Chains A and B, each alone.
Chain A
């Protein structure tokens, strides 16, 4: 029997992206630079997170013509973002043939209580999380890939580090939790019981987990790989830097060779200005994108 768009092929594409870098791009020219640099996929957007942050207003799904023009020029997978809860934007992206949908807190949420029922789609979804409960709620809704939220558009890795450390320590704690306590653990973290059981038994998430939100340098990418992520999303960090080509290539190499400090020293040289960053404590509550999601 042939099964199109099964959960296995949805999670399977994420498995193939592992050890790779997914780069935010806003034009076909940027998409070509990303592919040339060795990106394993691109995220097609109208504005990168740091511009969304600077310009304010409501951030929505990109114009379909932007996504199509990017799909036309690269052979690697093309992802696109839909607003949290906006299942019609997601349907449009699916109809366009996007390879993955990011139901993303970078865009302004369309629903303040509910996320998209992602099981309902043939196209796979990736969603952000700050902790294990949030990751398992998204997987329960059908996400086939998870990423840390970090704090998008800041060039500051501290929030992605916090989110990854939190997820990993909560996973480790579950593996040591006796079975009779797991139902309460599920209740306390607001996560589906069957997924809590899976994590307790296997010591890992049932889907691939990438780092996102604030990665700006090869060293940032390598740091996140050491913390146990499967791969890297870079949003504003590449095309808001002084030399996007060189930086994109260096971040790809750093993600593969994250354990080789000598090589990291070599590839970190002469990359020009990184994007200018934002200290998280200067952001007000309403400027923090990571609080979006339920």
Chain B
């Protein structure tokens, strides 16, 4: 049976995640309101502006529902803004957080857009071939709790982690044609 995976579609690059998931044979739900969360087996929180998505998550207690699903072990994958929203601590910011991962995240940590870059990343969990990773005004994790597994670093900065049912990347695997990160997330759903 096809996996039913939600992509949070309030703002940001949700279409790209949808296209990758469809290519990988999933039934994709664009999540715009709280009831769209019913019946999904996993959720992707896409890149976008974390402050914008955070404000829209407060409406209709949608954020609370996602927190509840995450606490109940539903697999959730956040990319870029999604990584920020999943982190319990956001450096120098009062903005909304889903408060799920034991991580300290710094926004725009590599600098403004003129510092945005793409690079080859070594991710042992995905095999020996490097992963082309696109970083756009990207965050990184300044600290992670011992229960958080580090999947990749770039120049000593933590950019890809897993904590049980939660996965977070500072880069955008939805913008490249290498789908190993999404496949890894779908395996998390299988194992759930």
Contacts and interface: CB of A to CB of B under 8 A. Distances in A.
B157 to A, nearest CB: 13
B10 interface: yes
Contacts of A123: 113-114
Given A16-B12, A16-B49, A75-B93, A6 B117 contact: yes
A249 B10 CA distance: 14
Contacts of A9: 113, 116-118, 134-136
16 contacts: A2-B117, A3-B118, A4-B116, A5-B116, A6-B118, A9-B136, A12-B134, A15-B47, A17-B48, A20-B12, A20-B49, A39-B52, A40-B48, A76-B51, A77-B49, A94-B114
Given A256-B11, A256-B56, A20 B48 contact: yes
Interface in A245-261: 252-253, 255-257, 260
B27 interface: no
Given A20-B11, A35-B51, 8 more contacts: A1-B120, A3-B119, A16-B136, A17-B48, A18-B11, A19-B10, A38-B56, A123-B114
Given A3-B118, A9-B134, A252-B52, A75 B107 contact: yes
B13 interface: yes
Interface in B69-113: 80-81, 93, 107-108, 112-113
B114 A18 contact: no
Contacts of A77: 49, 112-113, 137
Contacts of A253: 56, 59
Counting from the closest, the 5 A-B pairs by CB-CB distance are A99-B113, A9-B116, A2-B119, A40-B49, A38-B55
B115 interface: yes
A97 interface: yes
A18 B52 contact: no
Contacts of A1: 119-120
A12 B138 CA distance: 11
Interface string B126-137: 000000001111
A40 B15 contact: no
A99 to B, nearest CB: 4
Contacts of A15: 12-13, 16, 47, 175
A111 B117 CA distance: 32
Given A8-B118, A19-B14, A20-B12, A124 B113 contact: yes
Interface in A137-172: none
A40 B11 contact: yes
Contact of B136 (A12, A18, A40, A122): A12
Interface of B: 9-16, 32-33, 47-49, 51-52, 55-56, 59, 80-81, 93, 107-108, 112-120, 134-137, 172, 175
B57 to A, nearest CB: 11
A97 B112 contact: yes
Contacts of A6: 117-118
A100 interface: yes
A61 interface: no
B55 A252 contact: yes
Contacts of A67: none
A38 B118 contact: no
A164 B33 CA distance: 28
Contacts of A122: 114
Contacts of B134: 8-9, 12
Nearest to A37: B55
A35 B118 CA distance: 27
Contact of A18 (B12, B56, B172): B12
A16 B13 contact: yes
A20 B10 CA distance: 9
Contacts of B32: 256-257, 260
